[in-house]
Structure 1
Amino acid sequence: MSQFKALVVSENAEKQYVRTITQRNIEDLPAGEVLIKVHYSTLNYKDALSSIGNKGVTRNYPHTPGIDASGVVVESTDANFSVGQEVLVTSYDLGMNTSGALAEYIRVPAKWVIALPAGLSLAEAMILGTAGFTAGLCIDALLKYGVSPEKGKVIVTGSTGGVGILSVAILAKLGFEVVAVTGKPEAAELLQRLGATEIVSRESLNDTSGRPMLKSIYAGAVDTVGGNILATILKSLHYGGAVAACGLVASPDLPTSVFPFILRGNALLGIDSAECPMSKRLEIWQHLASDWKLDNLNLISHEIGLEEVPAKLDLMLQGKALGKSLVKIID
């Protein structure tokens, strides 16, 4: 097969970015040791930004977004991967400036590829995707810092987004009392079914008092939003608490002081999933496939076809998406 179906984003004569499902040639894919037939992908906010011409994500167009892929090896010049092997690829440059997984085929460097962990199906791996991997990194950082269920509540911001909703579910599975922060009251029932014991509004986490410290409430946090909400949480931690920070949906700024750190011994743990070393990737994916494996993934995902992706990306850009969109590429 020399041609395959893909979502392609192009810039037209009016400087607008348009999305079409079209045929591409395999020989036009970038260089790499592993050619993968994509069975599933999943939608991320970076895909939405790439689809509207955001040059901070994707520099050159036409382009196929899709930062997550699971599928089967078709060709490999690397001894670590064989034809027919089930694999997954998340982050690195896939879908950003390298042709992405909203397509039937990708070709990538072997160092980006992970053998599908035992215990996960190709579909389950993509319900998790970069969001689940990032949630896993956050939780791993909190656990290794010493945050544990007996030390008190943990709070998760952006709890209806991909990282947030999976963090809620995994933390609940591990026995934590989880507080979920959301601006979507209609999502409360779902978050409770996933294990959240308390739902709070974004407004309640936006302290504007100017006080350098607040009453200690939380043992730890997963923060996906940044800005003043992150600052408020830092001021509200128990002694020895920590926040794993992985996002900036609200703001990249952090209007706080050193007091949470020098008076309560708190920590701000930075989380990066894009360039995370492979040894750590394998560790986290093993947890996600075994002791952290969720049995309620069906609650947070819905399957769509490639043709439905443009409309879902629009919902993400409007802040109306809930849960994970699992994109079935191969019928």
Structure 2
Amino acid sequence: MTTPKTFKAFRIHSDDAGYRSGIEQVSLDDLAPGEIVIRSAYSSVNFKDALAGTGKGRILRRFPLVGGIDVAGHVVASTDAKFCEGDAVLVTGSGLSETRDGGYGEYARLESRWAVALPPGLDLRESMILGTAGFTAALALLRMEENRQSPGLGPLAVTGATGGVGSLAIDIFSSAGYAVHAISGKPEHAGYLKAIGAAEVLGRDALATRKPMESARFGGGLDNVGGPMLASLLAQTEPYGNVASAGLAASHELPATVMPFIIRGVSLLGVASAGTARDIRDEVWRRLASDWKPRHLDRICTREATLEQLPEVFDTMLAGGSMGRTLVDLQPRSPQAA
């Protein structure tokens, strides 16, 4: 299949004219080098995408770049024998929209070392409802279970529960057999959280303690918030439970003591999805396509957007008004073709 001379992409600039982003016509020659070219089908919107697209976070390391840290589509050209025309692939993180052009374009050129063949059990749309958010949640569970986490230790708490990572974590953890307690400051969304797998929905005051130790009530959890809430979760975790840290929506600081670690043997595990080693990456996607596949992807996908709608989506997300996941349709289809 031949690619058009130019195609639409959401591109980000920072130069003497200032920081700006928007739709442009670009060519493959404008994109970072790579072994495979795909016709992009879907991407997604993550917090990093909103920061990068608005300039409110230092995400990009060079300019200009096409935004979007996730992308999935079909190969149209490849110089790597492992990939053939027509293969369905996905890439999350791996330098996209940071050091190389990302997924917010009708075509993308990718490094084959980071391209993951779409695993059986997922379609392209599902893979991007998951995207970096689902990958992060599943990587957290993988890390916890490698450190002997089990449902028998007690419920897993999930902070920032209505966000993309939080929503998918609830679904993934419950699919894996855990009772999940969603921690949220949005009580109006309790019905949504229970519908995607939360056994209980707790207010933020459940993690409001400033004491170094509290009565243990959670087997562990996934924190997307940072700051005092993470410290409180550590203080309320059962002996030898695991808490995975994956975000800093509230704070990058951790006002905690070593007491949960040296008295209860609690483990704090870091989750950095962007540069995950290839063998771990493949295992996470295998699990996401099989026994950890979320059961409520269509409910968690609360919005579908086009490239043109990205600025509005970014503003809503940064203002705290988004819920679940936003899917980006990169090849809008006519009603007859849908």
Q: Could you tell me the TM-score, scaled by structure 2's length?
A: 0.93
CA-CA distance at 1:54 after TM superposition: 4.6
Query: Would you say how many aligned residue pairs link Structure 1 and Structure 2?
Result: 328
**The residue matched to 2:213 in structure 1 has which SS?**
coil
Contact residue 138 and residue 284 of structure 2 kept, 8 A: yes
CA distance in 1 between counterparts of 2:245 and 2:16 reads: 40
How far residue 59 of structure 1 moved from its aligned partner, in angstroms, is 3.2
Equivalent position of 1:309 in the other structure = 310
CA contact (8 A) 2:138 2:288 kept: yes
Q: Are 1:102 and 2:104 counterparts?
A: yes
Show the 5 A alignment for 1:174-323.
174-208=176-210, 211-301=211-301, 302-323=303-324
> CA separation in 1, counterparts of 2:195 and 2:153?
23
CA distance in 2, matches of 1:116, 1:29: 23
Structure 2: how far apart are the matches of 1:176 and 1:26? 45
Paired position in structure 1 for 2:165: 163
For residues 99 and 12 of structure 1, the distance between their equivalents in structure 2, rounded to whole angstroms, comes to 17
Aligned counterparts of 2:119 and 2:195: Cα–Cα separation in 1: 27
Residues 1:8 and 2:11 are matched in the alignment: yes
For the Cα contact (< 8 Å) 1:7–1:22, is it kept in 2? Answer: yes
User: Which of 65, 72, 77 is equivalent to 2:79?
Assistant: 77
Counterpart of 1:321, as a letter, is S
State the AA in 2 paired with 1:10: H
DSSP 3-state at the match of 1:51 = helix
Identity %: 43
Give ranges in structure 2 of 5+ residues lacking alignment.
Answer: 333-338
User: How much does 1:288 deviate?
Assistant: 0.4
What is the TM-score of this pair, normalised by structure 1? 0.95
Asked if structure 1 preserves the Cα contact closer than 8 Å seen for 2:40 and 2:331, the reply is yes
Structure 1 Cα separation of the partners of residues 56 and 78 of structure 2: 32
Counterpart CA distance in 2 for 1:279 and 1:42 is 23
Query: Paired residue for 1:91?
Result: 93
- On the 8 A contact 2:168/2:294 being kept in 1, the answer is no
1:216-250, CA deviations, whole angstroms, 9 ceiling, x for partnerless residues?
11111111111111110111011111101111111
Matched AA of 2:7: F
**Which letter does structure 2 place at the counterpart of 1:92?**
S
Q: Secondary structure at the match of 2:256?
A: coil
Going from structure 1 to structure 2, the CA distance change for 1:271 and 1:13 (only over 3 Å counts) comes to closer
1:244, 1:13 → 2: CA distance?
Answer: 41
Displacement of 1:206 in angstroms is 2.4
| Partner of residue 151, structure 2 | 149
The answer to which of 97-106 and 129-138 deviates more is 97-106
Residue 56 (structure 1) shift? 2.3
* 1:48 alignment counterpart: 50
Unpaired stretches in structure 1, ≥5 consecutive residues: none
Q: Which secondary structure does the structure 2 equivalent of 1:196 belong to? A: coil
Can you list the C-alpha shifts for 1:271-319, whole angstroms capped at 9, x where unaligned?
1111111100110100000111123100010322222111111111111
Which of 66, 69, 74 lines up with 2:68 in the alignment? 66
**Partner Cα separation in structure 2 for residue 62 and residue 53 of structure 1:** 13
Q: How far did 1:34 drift? A: 1.0
The one-letter amino acid of 1:318's match is A
- 1:115 aligned onto 2:95: no
Q: Displacement, 1:200?
A: 1.4
Deviations 1:39-76 (A, max 9, x none): 00000111111112256201333332100000011111
Once the 2 structures are TM-superposed, how far is the Cα of residue 12 of structure 1 from its aligned partner? 7.8
Q: Structure 1 pair 51/200, CA: closer, same or farther in 2 (3 Å)?
A: same
Do 2:175 and 2:295's aligned partners in 1 also have CA atoms closer than 8 Å? Answer: no
Report the Cα distance in structure 2 between the residues aligned to 1:156 and 1:324, rounded to whole angstroms. 16
Deviation at 1:14, TM superposition (A): 6.4
Structure-2 separation of matches of 1:19 and 1:139: 35
Q: Is the 8 A contact 1:2 1:27 kept in 2?
A: no
Matched-pair contact (CA < 8 Å) for 1:160–1:323: yes
In structure 2, what is the equivalent of residue 133 of structure 1?
A: 135
